Amino acid sequence: MNPATEKERNLAWRLLRQVAGSEQSPEGLVEATERVFDRLYRHLGAVVGPAGYAALVARALHLTTRQFAFMGNVRGEARADDFVMDGLRASVLGRDPAEARPSQVTLLANLIALLVTFVGEDLALRLIGQAWPETTGKIPGFEAEERHP
């Protein structure tokens, strides 16, 4: 699979910023990443199933570790009511923000890229949009208004 596109990276960054709010520290972005993956699970899990979502996340993690080896111990786990990113905090906290932030963007961008690959851009954006209805049907990021770090 090709790496995530610039559009997918921008979308990932916009979603993380939306969830993190003003908290842009590595700790805040880790928490935002965990919340984004859990929120997507609640919406995509109904479509692809818990095992399917876990497989997508596992592949996104594998792709991410090519660039950020320190993410190698992170595992996603689908539970009955939520999705947990085991090892994410331990792998990121204490790292330079210039390294930690791009790792989170890359992880989410890789998940988005996988969705686009498997279901197409239109459906992927619609599914992501269902997870963020407050965007009133428009998913930010694909316009490249705000670039990822």
Which residues, in sequence order, are bridge partners of residue 78? 83
Mean pLDDT rounded to a whole number for the chain? 86
Q: What pLDDT does residue 136 have?
A: 41
Q: How many CB atoms lie within 10 A of CB 74?
A: 23
Give the per-residue SS3 of 71-98. Answer: HCCCEEEECCCCEEEECHHHHHCCCCHH
Average pLDDT over residues 73-88: 92
Q: What pLDDT does residue 137 have?
A: 46
Q: Residue 53's pLDDT band (boundaries 50, 70, 90)?
A: very high
Q: At what angle do helices 121-131 and 97-119 cross, to 10 degrees?
A: 120
